[in-house]
Chains A and B, each alone.
Chain A
Amino acid sequence: MEGDLRVDHNTIIEVDGRLVVSGTARFEGRSQILGDLECGSFDADEAEVQVDGGLVVHGDVRARDSRVEVGGPLSARGIDVDKSLKIGGPATAEEIEVGGELEGRSTLSARSVSVGGRFRLGGKLTAQKVEAGGSVDLAEVDLESLQVGGVIHLAGGAVRRSIEVGGKFVSEAPLTFGSLEVGGVAQLRGSSKGGSIEVGGMFSADRDLTFDSLEVGGLGSILGNADGGDVEIGGKFEVRGSVTLRGSLEVGGAISVDEGLVGTKAEIGGKLKARRAIFTGSAEIGGAAVTQDGLKASRLRLQRKARATGPLVGDDVEIDSKAQVEDVYGGRVELRDRAEARNVYARSVKLGDGASADAVQYTDTLEMGRDCRCRTPPQKVASLPNFPL
């Protein structure tokens, strides 16, 4: 029909095929269209509009204080719905803004999607920018950026730039992303790859993870291998596979790695547990180091009263006072006051007051403080045994 269509309260329009309106279709109150609708623009005010078929709007959809439900596909230039929008078929638009709830059973493609409350979509979401204030449940995504205030579940995909989530983020399948910033909990299911990861509370990945940096306020766990730059964990960090870092590792509490741990620098407030740990720079352990094959660093320091199980290897090794360690291999090894070691093999050895060792072998110098104890007399040797690692 030529011109505009005005639909008042409690109207049902039966359509034989498709209703085409060249101008604006205006709705007030509750109405239903039993078929497809095509119009120049769509305008609703305090309305509940149900289009059983598809909806094609050449201009914009504007629905003030209204709910709109489309059974089939939806296409429009811009969509602005105050209360809720439900779509049964594939949807395309340049911009979609919904104040309350957006629900789609198929795919959605738009430049930007903004939802005040809940957003659910059954098919793939393709967009540059997606924002939602409440909870979000999505299938696969192909996005530039994603910002969610509450909780989001998605079925993997790609977010090329940034993901910012206030509460909880769950990806059920492999995900690639530029950056991930989550206030509460982040869970990655499936091998994932991304840039920086920053999580306030808990972070977990159930497969391999590749990243530039990982910062977690509370607890972190990776059930596969971790490959990345810097890692900073406030509490506890568990990895089932191996960890390979190009940067530094800082853990406030404890770190447990089932396989090998490699990095440039480490500061562990509590306990380090790994099959083997190798750092090209320095490593400082506050509580305990437990390894099977050993812990190696260029400069290695175990703090006061720390414990070490497994060999320690370093160019420069300092065992602080009252610490207890097993075998130590190094260029320069110092056992401070009342520190205890099993065997010490080094170019230069310094034993503080009351320090003790089962055996000491050195090639250059030995300094001993007061009341040092060695079960066998220290031996100056021409060469030291091969160091582990």
Chain B
Amino acid sequence: MIGDRSDRTTAPRRRELSDLYATVLEVVKRYRGVARITRVSYGAGMPVDRLRTFVDRLLALGLLRTEELDGRPVYDITARGQEFLDTYWKMRAYVEVLEPPLEERGRRRR
């Protein structure tokens, strides 16, 4: 999952809200326009009821779009959603550089 481990030399990060939204967007993106809610829930490691609140928020923000396929809703990422992912990953890269390595953090704690 996104955010659960940044590197072998750094401590696991607690998943923040932005990590969860990015996880959902990445999983939806992989299904290329035919992502069903159950499949996204397996991919994102999130129960369907909790996932629905994330998907609703992403739809409201225009980062996801939905349509009916065989009578069931399927989801796809929008250009704006892709822009969010591009920015998110770039920002994660900068944040990672700013964070001290694990051993340095350990020394500081001691």
Residues of A within 8 A of B (CB): 65, 82-84, 99-101, 114-118, 131-135, 147, 149-151, 153, 166-168, 170, 183-185, 200-202, 217-219
Contacts and interface: CB of A to CB of B under 8 A. Distances in A.
B94 A167 contact: no
24 contacts: A65-B38, A82-B39, A101-B45, A115-B43, A116-B27, A116-B44, A118-B45, A131-B30, A133-B27, A133-B29, A149-B26, A149-B29, A150-B26, A166-B85, A167-B92, A168-B89, A170-B7, A183-B89, A184-B89, A184-B93, A200-B89, A201-B91, A201-B93, A217-B90
Output the residue of B1, B23, B45, B93 with the most chain A CB within 10 A: B93
Interface size range of chain B in the complex: 20 to 34
Contacts of B4: 135
B6 interface: yes
B80 interface: no
A155 to B, nearest CB: 12
B27 A135 contact: no
Interface string B6-45: 1110000000000000010011011100000011101111
A100 B42 contact: yes
A218 B42 contact: no
The binding surface of chain A is classed by DSSP as loop
B56 to A, nearest CB: 20
Contacts of A202: 93-94, 96-97
Contacts of A200: 86, 89-90, 93
A82 B38 contact: yes
B1 A82 contact: no
A218 B89 CA distance: 12
A116 B43 contact: yes
B89 to A, nearest CB: 3
B2 interface: yes
B52 interface: no
Given A116-B27, A183-B86, 11 more contacts: A82-B42, A133-B30, A134-B43, A149-B30, A150-B1, A150-B2, A168-B89, A168-B93, A185-B92, A201-B91, A218-B94
A215 B74 CA distance: 35
A116 B39 contact: yes
Interface in B39-93: 39-40, 42-45, 85-86, 89-93
B94 A149 contact: no
Contacts of B85: 166, 183
A152 to B, nearest CB: 11
Given A99-B43, A183-B86, A134 B26 contact: yes
B43 A133 contact: yes
B5 interface: yes
A116 B43 CA distance: 4
B6 A100 contact: no
B38 A166 contact: no
